[in-house]
Structure 1
Amino acid sequence: MKMAEKINLTEQLKTYFGFDTFKGNQEAIINNVLAGNDTFVLMPTGGGKSLCYQLPSLVMEGTAIVISPLIALMKNQVDAMRNFSEEDGVAHFINSSLNKAAIDQVKSDIISGKTKLLYVAPESLTKEENVEFLKNVKISFYAVDEAHCISEWGHDFRPEYRRIRPIINEIGKAPLIALTATATPKVQHDIQKNLGMTDAVVFKSSFNRPNLYYEVRPKNNSIDKEIIKYIKANSGKSGIIYCLSRKKVEELAEILQANGINARAYHAGMDSLTRTENQDDFLKEKIEVIVATIAFGMGIDKPDVRFVIHYDIPKSLEGYYQETGRAGRDGGEGQCITFYTNKDLQKLEKFMQGKPVAEQEIGKQLLLETAAYAESSVCRRKSLLHYFGEEYSEDNCGNCDNCLNPKKQVEAQDSLCAVIETILAVKENFKADYIIDVLQGRETSEVLAHKHEDLEVFGSGMGEEDKSWNAVIRQALIAGYLSKDVENYGLLKVTDAGRKFLKHPKSFKITEDNDFEEAEEETPMRGGATCAVDPALYSMLKDLRKKLSKKLDVPPYVIFQDPSLEAMATIYPVTLEELQNIPGVGAGKAKRYGQEFCVLIKKHCEENEIDRPEDLRVRTVANKSKLKVSIIQSIDRKVALDDIALSKGIEFGDLLNEIEAIVYSGTKLNIDYFLHEIMDEDHMQDIYDYFKESVTDRIEDAIEELGGDYSEDEIRLVRIKFISEMAN
């Protein structure tokens, strides 16, 4: 009989889905569901989880209820199921996007027995009328997809998932299958406990995705340029770029479009029609790149995503694994590039303030794991799989940045002994940062409160940097000498192997962590030493500016400031459109003065056979800053400037910074109404004449020249009037 069943299953697989053979554990999982047992499936993205409930639902009597978190995911899967069947009613979903008529149609198909699979969001499942309706339906089994949403320790916790078990009990008992593509041992235990399925048969596939290449790059000011270069080098390939904020998603999508890349945005704040359209266009390959928040991609089955870029480091390694897992699902190339700076983690930690303390603690733990992964120079695969409770025994995976550029190993036997001794001395009751404080001999309030400054180990590690101690602890965890008590916010424990090591130390080689320099701050537009790539062109541009300034009888800086000329001598703009990508050059300025500069640059490029750095010229998108727009509108309405600052909640000096940026890039503003109110006419004329004669617009020089009769604000205000009238 068993044999017949097996043949039968393979036949069903061929009939319904057109596949000849099952992948991995699929057949064993389906047999377990058919036998009426609770089943827990841990299977990486792309491993074929959906089939584990889709096939049994078609074979069994009744309707299977699939609880799933995302409307987009439901639609995607229902469409896929309908393609396999001649009957449209075979699969349906109920969620907030349906009207009453549509819901009535779904119910009638279920009652008539047509529907084998019903997808519901947890919120819809708990609605009184749905519970009452489902009580009268023959349910074959319940499937909880994306089950990690149940656990507070999962990367996508949803409180409504916690209510699934009580609702199931109310509707009526049936076997349960829970599925997730990422779960640490802690999350797995949490899911089983919460769903009341601790004795379920667990099927765990390896989390290793050998075809994925993992790389972490330092994040700095040139990130947009790097991403554009990367996409252009991989032209024609599909990719996803993840950003943490909706604002960044929209900005980046615009920048990519301005640079000739077929990209669109996707986030939860867009209207659902546009969102769905963008998702469908990506699936149908009408667009190559989607820039998204993490809401995108859960369960989206696009097999040939060739790269996944993280603009911001994710909040947890589960999130990272899920999102990178959307690359190369067909087993082909999958490049996973992540940009990392510790500043991003500090920002994420700030966002957590105001949440309940327990949630903050969990969030911090998850962030620390992410930082450890990014900074470590150990094989990325080894780190990831260790996090998910799987051992990876290869020394070099050959498909991550750390393995392709291995660092020199150093002996750390004594350091590990010191760490183990310290953890034991503080009774295995503290986290890594505390252990490092004790080793470094820091008398922090916490150390003093526990009287640990009296311990023999206190200060025993003062010769080393924190970075080195972190590397020892991280690599000792992977080697199995230490373990982390996740239940208790990551307290460090010494394993049996660690105790044995302390008694009989042996060689323990580690690699120093990667050094991610802090991303440099953006340099402001004004001033600064010259840093043009082409000094010869820079001096020609200065000569041209001087000639024009004489002809038009305006100081040179009124035409273009030095940093603008430096940028021109670096990226060689030859059209007015390209010129507008130069910092400090708005459309008005480009039209007014730009033509002669473009002609000069073009001639210089031709005469010297210069290849213009096409890939370097990142087209920026006009900054449609709401603040700037609203300042311009207020000035047009003649609102006093101090009132504008007050209403915007900014200092007066900051308001002047904004106004200066507006006029320096070529927009005309008339602030005479305000100047006449606060300054006398002669006063104003003196400052105006000074700027007319001066060769520099530096405020410091003006203050020195004009003496103490004029305040800095007055000088800045008149300079704004002057630039607006003379330059724009």
Structure 2
Amino acid sequence: MAESVSRKATRLLREVFGLQSFRDGQLEAIEAVADGKDVVVKLTTAGGKSLCYQLPPLLCGSSSCCLIVSPLHALMIEQVAKLQTLGLSAVSCVSVSQLEEIPECVLNCCQYFYLSPECVVSSKWLTLMRTRVGDRVKLIAVDEAHCVTEWANFRPNYCKIGSVRSHCNCPIMILTATITRPQLKDINDEATLEPITTMLREDRSVKTIIYVGTKALATTLWEILCWSGKVAIHHSSLTYGTKRQTEEDFRAGKVTVVIATIEFGMGIDVSDVRLVLYYGVPRSVMEVYQMFGRAGRDDQ
């Protein structure tokens, strides 16, 4: 009987990486790419993003490899060294000249290629993809993916990353700790990536109120956060029915984060709020006291 993806991934997690269990979101991301789906992984800094692309190639056998596009040279060197201590083959290149120095034996058996955006779209690498490496690539990972739009002006090769996909038949995983819906659209448009299965995982199980000083700021924050979890907005310009529904959904756990102006946010009466934040500068100490009094009303 064939070993399931979940079971095999868990076994590899323990045998290869020396870890006992996956963090929230990791296994789902791994299962998604194993099923051939493109995926976005949004996890907090130090939340375990690298494992999401380091493990999948091992599911496909020792001859498979992963192509990781990263803008951070120091991080690439650190991850290559860590993989090598685990007995895995990895190499990093930030320039075309470094690509030319890769030994034949490494090209044939390397499991992880860490490349800069400039390297990955170079004619040298695209030739290697077409003639040597492409058949072995089982996943393309774009790390620090928000840089595709934020750094495109001075690193224009970010906008050409999608070109490498024509040389292999595999899913793409983009990873970041911070990304907005407009940035995600830019990544699809500029990097010519396929439509992606979005899998944004953060801890939204804790009921949270984020207070802001103005309706405009509440709307801005909501537009940034609403697509990545159970987030609602609460201010005076909304209809009574909308605000009432938000409060009911928040109480029932259908919504776990409410962004609210102070005047109307104070009316939210939910006993199991665990976290209260204020985005900006409060107008007074008393105002802060009132806001924080929204949390822990169930004495927990």
**TM bracket, shorter-chain basis:** 0.5 to 0.7
SS at match of 2:178: coil
Distance 1:476 1:199, change over 3 A: closer
Match of 1:376 in 2: none
The residue type paired with residue 215 of structure 2 is I
Residue 14 in 1 paired to residue 26 in 2?
no
Counterpart contact for 2:16–2:86, Cα < 8 Å: yes
Counterpart contact for 1:63–1:141, Cα < 8 Å: yes
Decide which structure has the larger Cα Rg and report it.
1
Distance 1:95 1:479, change over 3 A: closer
Match of 1:164 in 2: 161
Which runs of structure 2 are paired with 1:132-151 in the superposition (5 Å)?
132-136=127-131, 137=133, 138=135, 139-151=137-149
1:93 Cα offset (Å)? 1.4
SS at match of 1:37: coil
Match of 1:116 in 2: 111
Distance 1:73 1:173, change over 3 A: same
Distance 1:190 1:26 in 2: 25
The residue type paired with residue 189 of structure 1 is K
Residue 62 in 1 paired to residue 64 in 2?
yes
Report which structure shows greater RCO (CA 8 Å, sep ≥6): 2
Match 1:126 to one of 121, 124, 132: 121
Match of 2:196 in 1: 200
Match 1:508 to one of 239, 245, 264: 264
Match 2:208 to one of 394, 397, 418: 394
Counterpart contact for 1:63–1:110, Cα < 8 Å: no
SS at match of 2:140: strand
Distance 2:146 2:153 in 1: 7
CA-to-aligned-CA distance 1:129-170 (integer Å, 9 cap, x gap)? 222122122222211111111124x8998422101112332x
Match of 1:71 in 2: 73
Distance 1:147 1:478 in 2: 22
Counterpart contact for 2:43–2:49, Cα < 8 Å: yes
Distance 1:37 1:509, change over 3 A: closer
Match 1:471 to one of 213, 224, 238: 213
CA-to-aligned-CA distance 1:447-481 (integer Å, 9 cap, x gap)? xxxxxxxxxxxxxxxxxxxxxxx93335653897x
SS at match of 1:104: coil
Distance 2:207 2:59 in 1: 40
1:192 Cα offset (Å)? 3.1
1:59 Cα offset (Å)? 2.8
Counterpart contact for 1:38–1:201, Cα < 8 Å: yes
Distance 1:165 1:497, change over 3 A: farther
Distance 2:241 2:7 in 1: 56
Q: Which stretches in structure 1 are left out of the alignment for 5+ residues?
A: 209-389, 397-401, 403-469, 485-493, 516-728
Counterpart contact for 2:163–2:192, Cα < 8 Å: no
The residue type paired with residue 73 of structure 1 is L
Match of 1:380 in 2: none
Richer in helix (by share): 1
Distance 1:10 1:109, change over 3 A: same
The residue type paired with residue 95 of structure 1 is V
SS at match of 1:50: helix
Distance 1:159 1:104, change over 3 A: closer
Distance 1:157 1:97, change over 3 A: closer
SS at match of 2:21: coil
CA-to-aligned-CA distance 1:39-71 (integer Å, 9 cap, x gap)? 211111111000011111223242211111121
Match of 1:407 in 2: none
Counterpart contact for 1:40–1:178, Cα < 8 Å: yes
SS at match of 1:72: helix
SS at match of 1:191: helix
Distance 1:508 1:162 in 2: 43
1:498 Cα offset (Å)? 2.8
Distance 2:182 2:2 in 1: 35
CA-to-aligned-CA distance 1:243-297 (integer Å, 9 cap, x gap)? xxxxxxxxxxxxxxxxxxxxxxxxxxxxxxxxxxxxxxxxxxxxxxxxxxxxxxx
Distance 1:11 1:392 in 2: 31
1:180 Cα offset (Å)? 1.0
The residue type paired with residue 264 of structure 2 is F
Match of 2:183 in 1: 187
1:15 Cα offset (Å)? 1.0
* Aligned residue pair count: 241
The residue type paired with residue 68 of structure 1 is S
Q: Which stretches in structure 2 are left out of the alignment for 5+ residues?
A: 225-232, 245-262, 267-277, 284-300
The residue type paired with residue 117 of structure 2 is P
Residue 104 in 1 paired to residue 99 in 2?
no
Residue 45 in 1 paired to residue 45 in 2?
yes
Distance 1:16 1:188 in 2: 33
Q: Please, what TM-score do these two structures have when normalized by structure 1?
A: 0.30
Which runs of structure 2 are paired with 1:19-30 in the superposition (5 Å)?
19-30=19-30
Distance 1:475 1:25 in 2: 30
Match of 1:612 in 2: none
Match of 2:32 in 1: 32
1:194 Cα offset (Å)? 3.4
Q: Please, what TM-score do these two structures have when normalized by structure 2?
A: 0.67
1:100 Cα offset (Å)? 7.6
1:125 Cα offset (Å)? 1.6
The residue type paired with residue 58 of structure 2 is L
The residue type paired with residue 471 of structure 1 is G
Distance 1:140 1:155 in 2: 26
Counterpart contact for 1:69–1:122, Cα < 8 Å: yes
Distance 2:125 2:47 in 1: 32
Match of 2:271 in 1: none
Which runs of structure 2 are paired with 1:438-517 in the superposition (5 Å)?
471-474=213-216, 476-477=218-219, 498-501=237-240, 508=264, 513-514=281-282
